[in-house]
Chain A
Amino acid sequence: MTSGVKEHLVVVGNGMAGARTVEEILERGGGERFRITMFGDEPYGNYNRIMLSHVLAGEASPDDLGEIYLNPLDWYAENDITLHSGVRVVRVDRFAKKVFGNDGTIEAYDKLIVATGSRTYFPPMDGMWVDDKTLTPGVFGFRTLDDTTAMLDYAAESRTAVVIGAGLLGLEAAYGLMQHGHEVHVVQAGPVLMNQQLDEEAGGILRTVLERTGMHVHTGKRTTGLRAAGGGVSAVVFKDGTSLDCDMVVVTAGIRPNVGLAVISGLTVERAIVTDDQMCSVDDPDIYAVGECAQHRGEVYGLVAPLWEQAVVLAEHLTGTNPKAAYHGSRIATKLKVAGVDVASMGVKGPERADDEFVRFAEPKRGVYKSVVIRDGKLIGAMLLGDTKKVAFLTQSFDRGLPLPEERVGMLFELGGPSEEQGAAEMDDSVQVCNCNGVAKGDLVACVRAGEHSVAGCMNATRAGKGCGACTPLVRDIVEWAVAESGGEVGVDESASWYVPAIPMDKPTLIAAIREQNLRSVSAVLAALAPEGEDAGAKMPLTSLLRVVWNGEFVNENDARFINDRVHANIQRDGTFSVVPQIKGGITTAAELRRIADVADKYSVPMIKITGGQRIDLLGVRKEDLPGVWADLDMPSGYAYGKSFRTVKSCVGTDYCRFGLGDSTTLAVRLEQTYQGLESPAKMKLAVAGCPRNCSEALVKDVGVVAVGDDRWDLVIGGAAGASVRRGDVLATVTGHDEVVRLAGVFMQYYRENGKWLERTYDFVPRVGLDELKAILVADRDGIVGGLEERMQAAVDAYRDPWQDGPEPSGPGQFANNLPLVPLPIVPVGRAPDGSLQASSAGRGPSAGGVFEGAQA
């Protein structure tokens, strides 16, 4: 480090600890001192491993990676960090001071940080591996983003999963798979669930809570082997000779630090790489270890909070900003949300000495358990299950050894100890609020003082609440308290009401501006109203809005439509499309069925499926075949692809059913005929039922109609049975088909004009309020019903079946194949009788490779 020459800092491992250490170093001006290079085995930037549980449960999409990335690739570039992503370091030559990557990269270092984390431990058992490197298909660990996406892919084709190991990870995996409708068995060799955090009684209560959700829990069962059939796992076998059939296995029986690199490089490794109080290896003054691969004073930590503390110490030490920096180990207080249940624990689990005080409360029925252990007037352990309201107070007492209330019960309930709001006020600034991202109360307060007055804004700025989310209520309390302290008001995020982020207007204002300025195309709207210019993400919602405002009289721009709307079919994972013709009310004819069959033959459609919407789906159709398919079908589009009016399901009704009270089929066909294909903020799915037995599931539709007798019909709105389940609300009970069709139209038009983009009616109806909707739409309080009816009629009149587009494409290349030449992953389509997956490459017939030439002309 003679003047001007920076030292080279190399970090092996681009996970939570490695990247955090680098951040802390940069924050302390380390960028001036070091040139930084990082190696990461995983082909990504640094992501939040904790979020994988959410990704698996479908609560965070793996595609919405903005959320899960802590340091996207841009961050490395911005900070002049060279990132070798997807590169594994295979050797460190301590004497030459060089590291070697598996892609041939060689980097010389001055200082080296090893932050290789851990990996899944697969206990030795028969049938686990196909060969040295390959797990039996269907067997997964749960550690990386790739593990998670592989599980999600496989889960789509499997039903029954066994999770081996019932710790934090196991229960999260089980919970996640249950969200995909799996039958899930969790198997624990010992007697207690989450035995690292919970004692036997708490574990028992947790078990009851989980079983109530449908999870199967087996304790005291030692797994000895796996069985495979048809190329995938088919059962797990236990020591007692019993077995459990399954088609998927997740192994969460522990983790092991990644220390192979350290071992071959000659560092002292016990359970992990042995370090001193500066996180420096005991063998080499230029090599440090941090995170789950480090062992400090005999401890190896497996949660993030201690890693943040290590990262700070190491950064202070390396940058020289605190010459006294030393890590003394962490007292672990964890607060987690596991499988939907709040769990917090710290310190010891139970009394260890005769005079330790042990205060407990259990309410198994509500799934609540709380206990504290006190020694010499100080809190030395606590366990909370199901109700973690007191966790802030307890953590603080535990961390600082604060005096405890005389009345011990006050430590468990709101009586004696400070309430949550007081908690926010009285909490020490240094108390960690978000364990996942290491955010202390003081960080939030500083953020508020710096001028950020909204809860969401503070969460974005500090990342608090962006991990497991368990601390979100506490974060809100603290922000609200801090804002009140500073004399401000909690800000509302203005942009939350905008229809699209590019245009600072809510929907009614935007509609008014579009009308007033006579804006007829998306490019015109963006040019006139978007301060920063065009934005790809705004185009689809604006197209939808323009169609609602202008009906047929708007200027179509193909680039402003999502691919599905451009080709009137639903894009599939391999770039082919699905075609769903309209079958009104689910009623078809022999002639239509024959035509569908002929089309399927002629275009080699790989799968024909009866949909959940009472119609027939032709899946795997090639883009360039779409116009031909429509012409031969000679049926209107069923709009299975659009943010639009979709289907009206129907039961058989009075024509045939012995219980029928009303003619549901005629009404369903009429509703679908009338409102087919209309654009809407999100999908509108309808159903008509001939009696309250509800065979067409009308109570859980966006608009449902249920016959109650004497030609009277309940009109039900805002129901859902998809990702959310909500029973619809009765808007009104009306007489006669005409009135049903009219009032349904009034509601749908109101929703079309006021619903936010992608807001389904199950969110819209509760947002506006049922009473409000009744007042506006039924009682016509504001005198707008006439207008709604008129505009709905105009939309209905302007309807044109898009499948007529075929003969005259709306632009060159509308149906040109943009598929890649490379073969895509094979889509499994069926299951052999023995349960194995049968694969077929959906839609990519042997001719697919040749198709492309046409596009070159």
Chain B
Amino acid sequence: MTTSEITGHAVAPSDELPPGGARAFAVGDRMVAVFRLRSGELRAVDAVCPHSGGPLADGQFDAKKVICPLHSHTFSLADGTCLNGDRAVRTYPVREEAGKIVVTAP
């Protein structure tokens, strides 16, 4: 890891995620889905839908939420709560540093 924080993981070059882009990355031993909002900001949540394992990075999203592509469970990108009232996903701090996307995970 080339980052200053011990728990920061550089997962990809910044230009890998254009606005509207999303990808799943391995961060330590977990999978994290990183989303680039239309505003350019980044969000990161667990990559795996707690409902039935759907790939959340393949879901459609907006500034506030992401919809799982398998059965449309919807999760808040701000705090990970499931807007359908089911189990939530975890969220992770994500930032850009020296042209890289950096996810902080324990």
**A525-546 vs B, Cβ < 8 Å mask (1 yes, 0 no):** 0000000011111011000000
Given that A575-B54, A824-B53 are known contacts, is A73 also in contact with B81, CB under 8 Å in the complex? yes
Q: Mark B63-100, 1 if CB is under 8 A from A, else 0.
A: 10111011111100000011111111000000000000
**Chain A: minimal CB distance from B50 (Å):** 9
Q: Is the CB of A523 within 8 A of B81?
A: no
**Interface membership of B16, Cβ < 8 A:** yes
The minimal Cβ–Cβ distance linking A406 to chain B, given in whole angstroms, is 53
Asked whether, in the complex, the Cβ of A559 is within 8 Å of the Cβ of B21, the reply is yes
Residue B62 is within 8 A (CB to CB) of chain A in the complex: yes
CA distance A823 to B37 in the complex (A): 29
Q: Which chain B residues in 3-62 approach chain A with CB under 8 Å?
A: 11-12, 15-26, 31, 33, 38, 47-48, 51-62
The answer to the question of A794 belonging to the interface, with a C-beta cut-off of 8 Å to chain B, is no
Q: A43-B87, A65-B84, A818-B24 are in contact. Are A536 and B18 (CB under 8 A)?
A: no
A827 to chain B, nearest CB (A): 11
Contact B70 A536 (CB under 8 A): no
Residues of A contacting B24 with CB < 8 Å? 816-820, 852, 855
Whether the pair A571, B26 counts as a contact (CB closer than 8 A) is no
C-alpha gap A62/B86 in the complex (Å): 11
Is A325 close to B, CB under 8 A?
no
Q: Of B19, B84, B88, which is within 8 A of A66 by CB?
A: B84
B23: which A residues are within 8 A, CB to CB? 813, 816, 818, 855
Known: A66-B84, A536-B74, A813-B16. 20 other contacts (CB 8 A): A44-B85, A61-B71, A63-B51, A65-B73, A72-B83, A73-B88, A74-B81, A535-B62, A536-B60, A537-B67, A558-B20, A559-B21, A563-B69, A566-B58, A575-B58, A812-B16, A818-B23, A818-B33, A822-B53, A856-B25
Evaluate contact between A857 and B52: CB separation under 8 angstroms. no
Query: Is the beta-carbon distance between A562 and B60 smaller than 8 angstroms?
Result: yes
**Are A821 and B31 also in contact (CB < 8 A) when A536-B62, A559-B21, A811-B21 are?**
yes
Listed in ascending order, the chain A residues whose CB lies under 8 Å from chain B are: 43-45, 47, 61-66, 69, 71-75, 523, 533-537, 539-540, 557-563, 566, 571, 573-575, 811-813, 816-822, 824-825, 852, 855-857
Contacting pair B85 A45 (CB below 8 A): yes
With both chains docked as a complex, state the minimum distance between the C-beta of B22 and any C-beta of chain A, in angstroms: 7
Q: Given contacts A558-B21, A563-B58, A818-B24, is CB(A69)–CB(B85) below 8 Å?
A: yes
Residue of A nearest to B38 (CB): A523
B61 touches A820 (CB 8 A): no
Q: Cα distance A94–B76 when bound, in Å?
A: 40
Residue of A nearest to B33 (CB): A818
**Interchain CB contact (< 8 A) of B62 among A71, A534, A573, A813:** A534
Which partner residue on chain B sits nearest A534 by CB separation?
A: B62
Q: Which residue of A lies closest to B74 (CB)?
A: A536
Roughly how many angstroms separate A818 CA and B45 CA in the complex, as a whole number?
13
Whether the pair A820, B48 counts as a contact (CB closer than 8 A) is yes
A824 to B60, CA, bound (A): 22
* Least CB separation from A575: chain B residue: B55
Q: List 7 A-B contacts (CB under 8 A).
A: A63-B72, A69-B84, A534-B38, A536-B60, A536-B67, A811-B21, A822-B31
Chain B nearest CB from A576 CB (Å) reads 10
Q: Which residue of A lies closest to B72 (CB)?
A: A63
Give the chain A neighbours of B26 by CB distance below 8 A: 821, 852, 856
A820 surroundings in chain B (CB, below 8 A): 24, 31, 47-48, 53, 55
- CB-defined contacts of A857 to chain B, threshold 8 Å: 12
A44 and B87 alpha carbons, distance in the complex (Å): 7
CB distance B63 to A559 under 8 Å?
Answer: no
Instruction: List B contacts of A824 (CB < 8 A).
Output: 53
CA distance A247 to B52 in the complex (A): 24
The residues of B that contact A534 with a CB separation of less than 8 Å are: 38, 62-63
User: Who on chain A is nearest to B87 by CB?
Assistant: A43
> Could you tell me the distance in whole angstroms from the C-beta of B98 to the nearest C-beta in chain A?
17
Q: By the criterion CB–CB under 8 Å, are A536 and B21 in contact?
A: no
Q: Which residues of A contact B48 (CB under 8 A)?
A: 820, 822
Expressed in whole angstroms, the minimum distance between the Cβ of B19 and any Cβ of chain A is: 8
Of all chain B residues, the one with the shortest Cβ separation from A62 is B71
Interface residue from A73, A560, A819 paired with B20 (Cβ < 8 Å): A560
Known: A559-B20, A812-B21, A820-B48. A536 touches B55 (CB 8 A): no
Which residues of B have CB within 8 Å of A813?
16-17, 21, 23
Asked if residues B65 and A536 are in contact (CB atoms below 8 Å), the reply is yes
Q: Nearest Cβ in chain A — how far from B75, in angstroms? A: 11
Query: Is B61's CB under 8 angstroms from A559's CB?
Result: yes
Cβ–Cβ < 8 Å partners of B65 in chain A: 536
In order of increasing CB-CB distance, the 6 nearest A-B pairs are A72-B85, A559-B20, A63-B71, A818-B57, A820-B48, A818-B55
CA distance A852 to B23 in the complex (A): 11
Q: Which residue of B lies closest to A63 (CB)?
A: B71
- In angstroms, Cα B18 to Cα A535, docked, is 18
Nearest B-chain residue to A567, judged by Cβ: B58
